[in-house]
Amino acid sequence: MESITLNQPRLGEFFILEAGAINGPTCGVVFENLGKLLSPPRLILRPENGGFPELREVPRLIYFPSKGPPPKDLEPGFSGYWLVSERLHQVMALVDPNAFAFAEVDYRLADGSKGPRHFLCTVVQEIDALDEEASKLFIDTTEDFINGKFYDLTGGASVTFKRDLLGSAHVFKTPYTGRIFCDVRFKDAVAAAGMATDSDADGMWFVDAANI
């Protein structure tokens, strides 16, 4: 008899946290002192194993209106990191302080004046909690993946997680895909802080993990 699991994917429980606007121009923020922070031969600041390297000086980012619109609450693409606003940083640090690493930046406007607080951010909490038996996805083992397999979440995948393994985690990644996952508590906290969760208006969007 085929085994039956009660832990089925449920709509509105877990989400893929996608960073950046689907449409629209890139923001006009320039990472001004990136060259001084890099450790050759590495081409981006974020280390291969994640987190932050020892920073020789404070990251300095400058917003130039001529280069694009102001940054949204979450902007990807800053040498391997997200750039997040102060209000999003507050939500992240409050809801799941173990999930993220931050480095506050020296954020300036084009005239040299101090701008609003911003932070470089990366997700560091990794938990092998995806319920493979209950989920619908393709688990690729045909290539020499670093961790032995890869979760392919395309083509109508539907996934859920083992709650006992997640514990108090609300934002996390797994060893087998580059996607970032969160639960409804984090999504609701983002909405309660005044940021959009039903569109990408504030630079992030939430894809229901039960209906990818």
Using one digit for the tens of pLDDT, what is the confidence trace for 46-82?
999 999 999 999 999 999 999 999 999 999 999 999 9
Sequence-distant (6+) residues with CB within 8 A of 43 are none
Q: What is the largest CA-CA distance in the chain?
A: 71
DSSP-assigned letter for residue 79: T
Average pLDDT for 12-22: 92
User: Structural domain boundaries of the chain?
Assistant: 14-19+126-208, 29-123
Contact 16, 207 (CB under 8 A): yes
Q: Which two tokens stand for residue 48?
A: 């291969």
Residue 1 predicted with pLDDT over 60 = no
Residue 199 predicted with pLDDT over 90 = yes
pLDDT tens for each residue of 111-162: 999 999 999 999 999 999 999 999 999 999 888 887 789 999 988 899 999 9
Look up the pTM and report it: 0.92
pLDDT number for residue 5: 56
> What gap in Å lies between CA 99 and CA 159, rounded to an integer?
20
